[in-house]
Each structure stands twice: as C-alpha cells, then as structure tokens.
C-alpha cells in the first residue's frame, strides 16, 4: 500500500525515528500509526544496545521544581540529533527522569561514577556487620557482595526502580525509549537541590527558654 508523507511525518514526530524506519513501520502496520509505533518499539528493543554506543551530543537541560519550591532538579539528557531532542516523547522522558530524581534523590548517574573509597568504606561497614553473625568467611563474602549491589541500586540513578513503575529501572526506561525513538539517549548529569540541605539548624528548646525567662 502507498504510505502518505503526512503519515510518515506524524509517526516521526511521535517517535523521532528516521524517515525510512517510519515508512517501513507504516508499511508493516498497513498505515495504522499506533501499530507502527508498537512495531518500531518491538524492533528497536533488539537494536537498542547497538545504538547505545553511538555518540549523543545533542539534547536538553531540564529544570524541575517539586514540593512547592522545596526541591529542585537540573538534568542533562543527550540525544544524537537536535530533531529528537525537540520531540514530545523525548521531552516527556526527560521530565519523568527529573521527577524521579526529585523523589528518590540518587547520588550518581551510574555505578562507574561512585568513588572507589566510598565503595570500600561501605564494604568495610558491611563486612564488620556480617562478621558479628559468626558465619563462615565465604558466606560473609557473599552477604557483603549482595549488600554492595543493593547499595548501587540505592544511590545510582540508572539502577534505581522507576518511581512510577518499580518493576522497571531507569536504565530500562531509557532503553525502551532508545528503541522507540531510534537514537541513542544518554543521561549525562544532574544536580538535586533541597531547601536547607547541608545547613546546620539551631534547635531551640522553647520550654527551657520560658523557664529561664521566669527566673
């Protein structure tokens, strides 16, 4: 069947996929745009790993303010082309990740960014705790390794369960969007701010102040 230019344009705007990919998807879906989106997603998942090695130097910096101005996030997510960076789907993904960061407060994007001394410190703490159980050394090692993995999942953005769907990680969310959009997507960096964070607050004992004033 003949695929119209308007249908190709609509599908490209929805997914950010290339012209020929969109045309092929529409042909497979017999012109049904929604089915074409699903087809691109299914085919893309298999190819997503290959796309992940491609350079992504375009993209956006997103700002997100949460909790009445008490928490703020700046997030940079990269794509291969400016065209994709401007699509609705890419923008929605970036906002979802920013919201997740505001909610779960990761410390790093990926485990490779965690300083070796931080990991070693956690390992020493976990080892000391495990030794108190009196278990054999080989068992202790497995327990510690398991706790280190859990630590990575708690502090690394890509390994955290997505706040809106705990059955998938942020990394899986990104991969699904690579498949759907047809380009590599890379979460580069973020900064999370919380009002008053890091400031030592003075704790006032009002009862003691009143009592002192009455003396």
Give the count of beta carbons closer than 10 Å to the beta carbon of residue 123: 15
pLDDT band, very low/low/confident/very high, at 164 (cuts 50, 70, 90): very high
* Residues ≥6 apart with Cβ < 8 Å to 48: 175, 176, 178, 179
Inter-helix orientation angle 33-51/170-181, to 10°: 120
Which of 40-52 are b and which e, b meaning 16 or more Cβ less than 10 Å from the residue's Cβ?
A: bbebbeeebeebe
pLDDT band, very low/low/confident/very high, at 46 (cuts 50, 70, 90): very low
Q: How many domains does the chain have?
A: 2
In which domain, by residue range, is 21 found?
A: 1-51
pLDDT band, very low/low/confident/very high, at 49 (cuts 50, 70, 90): low
In a domain, 168, yes or no: no
3-state secondary structure 184-208: CEEEEEEEEEECCCCCCCCCCCHHH
In a domain, 188, yes or no: no
| CATH number for position 132 | 1.10.286
In a domain, 203, yes or no: no
With 0.85 as the threshold, say if the pTM is over it: no
Mean pLDDT of the 12-31 span? 81
In a domain, 142, yes or no: yes
> What's the confidence (pLDDT) of residue 190?
98
Mean pLDDT of the 43-57 span? 65
In a domain, 12, yes or no: yes
Asked if 89 contacts 178 with a C-beta cutoff of 8 angstroms, the reply is: no
* Residues ≥6 apart with Cβ < 8 Å to 72: 63, 64, 65, 66, 102, 192, 193, 194
Provide the 3-class DSSP secondary structure of residue 72: strand
In a domain, 189, yes or no: no
In a domain, 34, yes or no: yes
| CATH number for position 35 | 1.10.8.10
Q: Is 180 exposed, middle or buried (0-12, 13-18, 19+ CB in 10 A)?
A: buried
In a domain, 28, yes or no: yes
Mean pLDDT of the 149-166 span? 96
pLDDT band, very low/low/confident/very high, at 11 (cuts 50, 70, 90): confident
Q: Is 198 exposed, middle or buried (0-12, 13-18, 19+ CB in 10 A)?
A: exposed
Q: Which of 15-29, 34-48, 81-95, 106-120 shows the lowest mean pLDDT across its residues?
A: 34-48
> What's the confidence (pLDDT) of residue 89?
92
Looking at the DSSP bridge assignments, the partners of residue 46 are none
Closest to 110 (Cα-Cα) out of 171, 42, 69, 61: 171
pLDDT at 206 over 60: no
Mean pLDDT of the 74-83 span? 95
Question: For 5-145, where are the E strands, in sequence order?
Answer: 58-66, 71-79
């Amino acid at each position: 069947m003949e695929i119209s230019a308007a249908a190709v344009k609509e599908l490209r705007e929805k997914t950010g996929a290339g012209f020929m990919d969109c045309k092929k998807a529409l042909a497979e879906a017999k012109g049904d745009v929604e089915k074409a989106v699903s087809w691109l997603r299914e085919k893309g998942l298999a190819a997503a790993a290959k796309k992940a090695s491609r350079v992504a130097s375009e993209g956006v910096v997103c700002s997100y303010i949460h909790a009445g101005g008490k928490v703020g996030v700046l997030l940079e997510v990269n794509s291969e082309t400016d065209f994709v960076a401007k699509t609705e789907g890419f923008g929605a993904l970036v906002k979802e990740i920013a919201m997740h960061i505001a909610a779960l407060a990761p410390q790093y994007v990926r485990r490779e960014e965690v300083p070796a001394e931080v990991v070693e410190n956690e390992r020493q703490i976990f080892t000391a705790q495990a030794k108190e159980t009196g278990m054999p050394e080989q068992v202790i090692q497995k327990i510690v390794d398991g706790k280190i993995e859990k630590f990575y999942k708690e502090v690394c953005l890509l390994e955290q369960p997505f706040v809106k769907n705990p059955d998938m990680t942020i990394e899986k969310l990104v991969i699904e969007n690579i498949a759907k959009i047809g380009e590599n997507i890379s979460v580069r960096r973020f900064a999370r701010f919380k009002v008053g964070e890091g400031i030592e607050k003075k704790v006032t004992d009002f009862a003691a102040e009143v009592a002192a004033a009455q003396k």
